[in-house]
Homo-oligomer: A and B are copies of this chain.
């Protein structure tokens, strides 16, 4: 079977586009007609929003399937609408997979032991729980291809996810250096051995990734490396030669294509995320939102060309 990293790289190559579509919907991003349509179907409250989100996601996924290979769903955006939101997330993930996208659940999970195992099942799982006295009981799980993780707790919190990588060809992206203004509060502190905290995290990630996909160029253990810090991305590539970088910060967060690609090697090894700049393209065009998916397509083509010319 094909590893997560291999599958992702092949699909990125096919599209000649390292863009990662971020579907992180927000009520204020929804075109009016989608909310009106959900209401006309008798949906109210969280059900109405979740229904609009699903229609929004489906239209965009359909529209850019020939140009973008991978999509990231921000779990919080769905969780805040409770069970209706979680159902929307599941259906959006399943629809993306049916169109051939590589799917990433951005959940930044972190815990230990049986709890980490539960998060691994919730995010990456498909298989049934068994062995109870009442017989086999299936549980709901998102079945994403990969999930983002926070490794402040060390390997204990990561290992249950690596198990899913080994058994089911899943992937993980571990936070190393984030793109937000206060990332340095902890990540940039100087260690006694001369490294920064985020460099120590990078070394751990590289080490944990060694146990997967031996002999291949890239490991299915990836790293989140903010694009607003291109010099750091170059340094981090040296520490993590086999990690695929998930790179936030391009577009709405201000990083240029050149910044975003700083950690690439030979045109490979990264995914450049854009969420708001793609989802909200229709608002920038002063459109009333009827053609929101086409507006996203135009923005996605522009982003692709911008990245291609900088590669």
Which A positions have Cβ atoms within 8 angstroms of B?
A: 24, 26-28, 30, 32, 35-36, 39, 44-46, 48-49, 74, 76-77, 79-87, 90, 108-116, 118-119, 121-122, 125, 129, 131-134, 137-141, 150-157, 175, 178, 180-187, 189-193, 197, 200-201, 204
Contacts and interface: CB of A to CB of B under 8 A. Distances in A.
A46 B115 CA distance: 18
A185 to B, nearest CB: 3
Contact of A190 (B125, B178, B192): B192
Contact of A115 (B36, B77, B155): B77
A139 B28 contact: no
Given A83-B83, A187-B154, A111 B112 contact: no
16 contacts: A26-B118, A27-B129, A32-B134, A46-B137, A46-B140, A76-B111, A76-B119, A79-B122, A80-B118, A80-B121, A82-B140, A152-B178, A154-B184, A154-B185, A185-B204, A189-B192
Given A48-B137, A186-B200, A186-B201, A28 B132 contact: yes
A194 B250 CA distance: 36
B189 A134 contact: no
B154 A175 contact: no
Contact of A48 (B48, B77, B134): B134
Nearest to A82: B140
A156 B180 contact: yes
Nearest 8 pairs of A and B residues by beta carbon? A82-B140, A154-B185, A154-B182, A83-B83, A76-B118, A190-B192, A80-B122, A112-B180
Contacts of A140: 45-46, 80-85
B189 A125 contact: no
Of A125, A134, A200, which is in contact with the most chain B CB atoms at under 10 Å from its CB?
A: A134
